[in-house]
């Protein structure tokens, strides 16, 4: 009877963390070296931060941008702030974010100015990095939501760019 009951239950997918799937990321490492590594993302925006490192700093920035977006959406109705659909290009030289529709360059960041990058522990698809702004010399955190991949994979690709 117990076997019959278990056969009707839904089988849960066994979760395999991204870190244990390095065979999927080897193509990313080669793509970073050749400059052909790209990811579809939603660019949430950027926030000025106090420190140059720390996962908690990046996570707070993502929370702030998501809350700000929710506030504007509730306040202005349908005309709220939307995340921009874009493509994140990762190469050994730097990071480029290009608007998917207009093909405008949103962010062009040299890899030397990036001080920290991390996936978000609260949102599976979130990824952010901290860099030094060239003109104001302040620390800025740029935040993204991956469309097809996880934030962990994007973080790994940016880590490969440092190597």
The model's pLDDT over 105-129, given as tens digits with 9 standing for 90+, comes to 999 999 999 999 999 998 899 999 9
Nearest by Cα to 142 from 61, 71, 50, 39 = 61
Fold of 25-162: PH-domain like (2.30.29)
pLDDT digit string, tens, across residues 2-48: 666 666 665 555 555 555 555 666 677 777 887 788 999 999 999 99
**Taking the domains of the chain in order of start, what are their residue ranges?**
25-162
Cα gap 151→119, rounded to integer Å:
5
Instruction: Supply 138's token pair.
Output: 């302040």
- Token match 């990313």: residue? 28
The number of beta carbons lying within 10 Å of the beta carbon of residue 118 is: 25
pTM value > 0.85: no
pLDDT for 15 equals: 53
pLDDT for 7 equals: 64
């Amino acid at each position: 009877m117990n076997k019959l009951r278990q056969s009707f239950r839904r089988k849960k997918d066994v979760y395999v963390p991204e870190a244990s799937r390095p065979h999927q990321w080897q193509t990313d490492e080669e793509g970073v070296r050749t400059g052909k590594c790209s990811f579809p993302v939603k660019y949430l925006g950027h926030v000025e931060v106090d420190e140059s490192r720390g996962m908690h700093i990046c996570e707070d920035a993502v929370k702030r941008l998501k809350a700000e977006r929710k506030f504007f959406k509730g306040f202005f109705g349908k005309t709220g702030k939307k995340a921009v659909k874009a493509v994140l290009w990762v190469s050994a030289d730097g990071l480029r974010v290009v608007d998917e529709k207009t093909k405008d360059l949103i962010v062009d960041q040299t890899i030397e100015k990036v001080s920290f990058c991390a996936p978000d522990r609260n949102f599976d698809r979130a990824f952010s990095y901290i860099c030094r702004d060239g003109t104001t010399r302040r620390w800025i955190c740029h935040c993204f939501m991956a469309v097809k991949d996880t934030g962990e994979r994007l973080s790994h690709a940016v880590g490969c760019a440092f190597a």
